[in-house]
Amino acid sequence: MAITNGPLSGIRVIDMSQAHAGPFGSMLLGDLGAEIIKLEPPTGDLIRFGDPNVTTFNYYVLSLNRNKKSIILDITSELGKKAFYDIVKKSDVVYSNFRAGVPKRQGSDYETLKKINPDIIRCNISGYGETGPYEAYPAYDIIACGHSGLLSISGDPETNKAVIPGGIAFADMMGGIFGALSILSALISRDKDKTGVEANVNLLDSLVFMQKVMFQHFFTGGGEPGFQGNRHTILPTYGIFPTKDGNITIAPPTNDNLLIDVMGLGWMLKDSKFDNVVSRVINRPEFTEIFEKKMLEKTTNEWVKIFRDENDIPSGPVLDYDDIASDPQVAHNEMVKEMELKGEKYKTIGSVFKFSDPVKGEAEPAPDLGQHTSEILKNLLGYSDEIIEKIKIESDAAKSKMKSYKEE
């Protein structure tokens, strides 16, 4: 059963996006109740690996494409392109993550689409931007991370090694999110101005923007920030610390005397080398050595109980995925959902959106490639069986000519 009453109920999105950035953004719009029509070329989203069923690496497809309908159209063919434009007439948003220049070549750019539907909102997510010196370069997540400066701060100063930011596809997700945000704002302005909007984003800008505070520090004379590691540049008691059996996070209050006291290091508060925030900053190496050694004496849970539960000091455990699966707050927030695909139950991460007027209905699992082609052509466009059959034949013919991702 689909979601029936989200804030975006009644909004139809044509989602031409593939892989990670676009599909994540359109999934957010689907979580908000929009109808998402995932328009795939005959070989499918490249993350399907040329496989019509979600199989080999189905976790990618499953996790990014819930609440979407899948339609196959070869928009390089005459009938396929006409069907695409016919859907554009009945839609609110066209969303994609093509390399700059591709929308224009294939006739899905804003200039072309607004002639077909003046109210259309067009969002493309590119790597570097739609224009400019690097517009034509290929770009994927990690490349934007490197180009945006993020890899110059994401890493360990001790080994001088950069690591993937957060261990996730951060650039892709931010591109998708800022695309979805731009679309939301364009939907609001369209209700007011009665005109469509072009709302493009790119991975590079998205990551530069996410470093806003760090750049402000740099612009204001702070120098190259360098690898941020696992500690705070100034506060010696902020960060991630090893314990007897794992790691703990601490974000001490402005004055961390309480933290030092409840750790059993009260003597430090009587020693002029460590008795206030300034002296601890000045004598940081010596302080840190004592502080870290003390932290190894108890387990993470023991420390969290003392800090957080008994003294309201912001602190918490470093959980792994097994811990999250059984965490009571994660369960309470309904962030782990069970869904069903072809009779097989599976778990997935739920929607991030929490409303006082809760979204009703259940999310649908990711669609098979082309699962809804006939339904959409028939019910939305009113195409005859004959034309639908022709479109299918055209798609099949195109498929054999297209190089599939798997074989490449």
Residues catalogued as catalytic: 172
Site string for another protein, 96-135 (x = CB under 8 A): --------------------------------xx-xxxxx
Q: Is the dihedral of CA 44, 50, 51, 57 positive or negative?
A: negative
Q: Is 154 in the site for another protein (CB under 8 A)?
A: yes
Helix axes 385-401, 78-89, angle to 10 degrees: 120
Minimum Å gap between C-beta 374 and another protein is 28
Contacts of 258 (CB under 8 A, 6+ apart): 311, 313
In total, the chain counts a number of residues equal to 408
Q: Is 358 in the site for another protein (CB under 8 A)?
A: no
Residue from the set 52, 101, 107, 229 that interacts with another protein by CB under 8 A: 229
Would you give the distance in Å from CA 67 to the centre of its chain? 16
Total binding residues toward another protein, as defined by CB under 8 A:
160
Residue from the set 102, 262, 277, 290 that interacts with another protein by CB under 8 A: 277
Q: Which two tokens stand for residue 84?
A: 């695409």
Decide whether 85 or 346 has the Cβ nearer to another protein: 346
- Cα(377)–Cα(330) distance, integer angstroms: 40
Span from 68-76, 191-199, 378-386, 390-398 in contact with another protein (CB under 8 A): 191-199
Contact predicate 203/174, CB 8 Å = yes
Residue from the set 210, 295, 391, 398 that interacts with another protein by CB under 8 A: 210
Contact predicate 62/365, CB 8 Å = yes
Residue from the set 148, 243, 373, 395 that interacts with another protein by CB under 8 A: 148
Q: Is 296 in the site for another protein (CB under 8 A)?
A: no
Decide whether 136 or 397 has the Cβ nearer to another protein: 136
Residue 316, burial from CB neighbour count under 10 angstroms (0-12, 13-18, 19+): middle
Span from 53-61, 70-78, 283-291, 367-375 in contact with another protein (CB under 8 A): 53-61
Query: In terms of Cα–Cα distance, which of 316, 160, 156 is closest to 231?
Result: 156
The half-sphere exposure of 134 on its side-chain side, counting CA atoms within 13 A, is: 14
Q: What are phi and psi of 383, to 5 degrees?
A: -70, 150
Site string for another protein, 57-96 (x = CB under 8 A): xxxx-xxx--------------------------------
Decide whether 211 or 371 has the Cβ nearer to another protein: 211
Q: Which two tokens stand for residue 5?
A: 């009453």
Residue from the set 352, 382, 386, 400 that interacts with another protein by CB under 8 A: 352
Q: Is 367 in the site for another protein (CB under 8 A)?
A: no
Contact predicate 5/359, CB 8 Å = yes
3-state secondary structure of 86: helix
Strands 336-341 and 68-72, how do they pair? Answer: unpaired
Decide whether 143 or 381 has the Cβ nearer to another protein: 143
Minimum Å gap between C-beta 109 and another protein is 13
Decide whether 76 or 230 has the Cβ nearer to another protein: 230
Q: Is 324 in the site for another protein (CB under 8 A)?
A: yes
Decide whether 325 or 393 has the Cβ nearer to another protein: 325
